[in-house]
Structure 1
Amino acid sequence: MRLTAFTDYGLRALQRLAGEPDRLFTTDEIAREFVISRHHLVKVIRELADAGFIRTLRGAGGGFRLARPAEEISLGAVVRQLEARHAMVECFRADGGACVLTPSCRLKGKLAAAAEVFLSELDKTSLAECAYLPPSSRRRRPALQDRAA
């Protein structure tokens, strides 16, 4: 299964917020750090806020942060939300698409089952488990020779 860039950007932004949950971030800051389109990221942030994953604060000194603890956000919930508008295949669209195989297709059920297994696996992982700190914030791991014997 391939995720859209929209979902990829959303997951990256959430991972970054989870790395420093008490800090406010701006769209410009996240876009620069991950070298992604600010314009596209603005749409992602709006969707994450509408879905209740992040809280936004307007005005000078504003930005966004997680709306609830990262331990309470499953990756499956995020992916379901951000991928909801994109059908995996044409026949999964709300209007059923125009696939001529639909009336007797034996693949659709298998694809739906595979997608559910994929999402169920992501449900087992919290955002906290994937929190991201920028390299400058990570603690240096002591070299083997620095450790006490």
Structure 2
Amino acid sequence: MQLTRFSDLSLRLLLYLASRDKPLETVVTVRAAAELFHVPYTHMVKVAYQLGLAGLVETAKGRGGGLRLGRRPESLRIGEIVRITEPKGGLIDCWTQPCPLREDCLLKSALDEAYEAFFRALDRYSLAQMAKTPSLQKLVQITG
């Protein structure tokens, strides 16, 4: 399964926020995050907005505003994040277009099983676990 660019940016942003010394207090601006990950500001605004709606980040506008984690990184599972950021549905769409195999197709159930196994595997890892890498720590030191 390939994640969308939106999920990719969401995970990167959350990992960066989680790697801060005080992730529930340290504020990072959307512009700084966009520059850090070399993405358009408008893309990062969309990511921040959706993560805010989901309660994964807290957002504040104006002077001194920005983003910070909305929950403790230990409580955020990677599978939960991806479920929020990925479009809903399975690996294949059997309902939009007519399919003569739909009535007794075994492929859909096999793919659904694989899809759920993917999320179960991601659920084994917390954001805090994933944020403990030397490269993230170095990035935090460089960016302040």
1:42 to 35, 42, 45: 45
CA distance in 1, matches of 2:68, 2:13: 10
Please say which of residues 40-49 and 96-105 is displaced more in the overlay: 96-105
Q: Does 29-38 or 113-122 show the bigger shift?
A: 29-38
Which structure 1 residue ranges, 5 or more long, are not aligned?
A: 139-149
Larger Rg: 1
Percent identity over paired residues: 37
Q: Does 1:121 align with 2:125?
A: no
Q: 1:85 to 1:46 in 2, by over 3 A?
A: farther
Is residue 92 of structure 2 the alignment partner of residue 89 of structure 1? yes
Normalising by the residue count of structure 1, what TM-score does the alignment of the two structures yield?
0.82
**Helix, strand or coil for the counterpart of 2:119?**
helix
Supply the distance in 1 between the matched residues of 2:140 and 2:84 (Cα, whole angstroms).
31
Q: Residue 65 of structure 1: SS of its match in structure 2?
A: strand
Provide the aligned length of Structure 1 versus Structure 2: 134
Asked whether 1:7 is paired with 2:10, we answer no
Q: RMSD in angstroms over aligned alpha carbons? A: 1.7
Deviations for 1:54-95, whole angstroms, at most 9, x for unmatched residues? 10111111001001110010000000011134653222xxxx
Displacement, 1:16? 0.4
What residue number does 1:130 align with? 130
Structure 2 portions without partners, runs of 5+: none
Matched, 1:110 2:114: no
